[in-house]
Structure 1
């Protein structure tokens, strides 16, 4: 999907406002702790809910990407200010998208549409400090590489 089709691609809501809204949303739905941090190339949002620790890693774009340093239509080099504006727009979009995900998952749980563990399973932090996704992804990849994958319509135990 191109940039024009991305959720909130034209938002003017600041990243700080989105971060604050994520915190307010988590508080409203009953989270008991919250943390946010960043390092080059990524940010993290963590919280505790119902005795489970959850961590979302938000990949952030590289300021040096061509989509920021050059105009999309003509390919001309942008000024530093124009490149910063384009970069900040992309970062704002990422934070709005994360807010949407968090809100949707919490509302699904609150409404009884889904169970908390099912909605947040990949993001649950294990005692090792890694998420379920980080632990399971290599196993899933290996299953597909070796062909040891269950049929799509195979019914499990009803869960």
Structure 2
């Protein structure tokens, strides 16, 4: 049976952000910052000599609800808003769990902070490794050819 705790919808988004801030701080990360722009939230922090940024897409209503009658601000609209808020609470909770797991792996010596958060390392130019390599990887899969990363090719 799945209760509210295991679904993550009993935690507020703010409680999950506080948990993330505390977990990162306990690990030694600094300059933890949460921002929101449009339908994306982001967390940025520094650790291990690197800067990291994780972008979390937030669910938002796609324009006005299409419903019959004049109840756009009534019960259906409120229900939609509650569903969106619940989904976003779950997203923040899932991110908190993922960060906990990554930090635990780094603390145990199984991995490094950089290897656990590699996709989110911010490079000079303010793009992440994922921003830079995502298209290269997609192209390699489409072409079936090994991508070149600027070093000598390996067989």
Residue 128 of structure 1 aligns with which residue? Answer: 125
Deviates more, 1:77-86 or 1:87-96: 77-86
Aligned to 1:54: 52
1:149 shift after superposition: 3.7
> Contact 1:34 / 1:47 at 8 angstroms: preserved in 2?
yes
The match for 1:26 is 24
Q: After superposition, what is the alpha-carbon deviation per residue over 1:95-154, rounded to whole angstroms, capped at 9, x for unaligned? A: 00110111110110000111222111100000110000100011111111111149xxxx
Q: 1:118 to 1:130 in 2, by over 3 A?
A: same
Task: For structure 2, list consecutive stretches of 5 or more residues without a partner in the other structure.
Answer: 68-73, 148-153
CA offsets 1:23-58 (integer angstroms, 9 cap, x no match) = 011101110211000011110001000111010000
Q: Name the larger-Rg structure.
A: 2
1:79 aligns to 2:81 (yes or no): no
**1:8–1:96 CA contact under 8 A, matched in 2:** no
Aligned-residue offset at 1:69: 7.9
Q: CA deviation at 1:82?
A: 1.3
Q: Counterpart of 1:33 in 2: which secondary structure?
A: strand
How many corresponding residue pairs? 139
Partners in 2 of 1:147 and 1:65 — Cα distance?
Answer: 40
TM-score (norm 2): 0.80
- Corresponding residue number in structure 2 for 1:15: 13
Greater Cα shift, 9-18 or 77-86: 77-86
If the length of structure 1 is used for normalisation, what is the TM-score?
A: 0.78
Over aligned residues, Cα RMSD in angstroms? 2.7
- Structure 1 gaps of 5+ residues are 71-76, 151-156
Q: Distance in 2 between matches of 1:118 and 1:134?
A: 16
The 8 Å contact of residues 8 and 93 in structure 2, kept in 1 or not, is answered as no
Rounded Cα–Cα distance in structure 2 between residues aligned with 1:42 and 1:8: 24
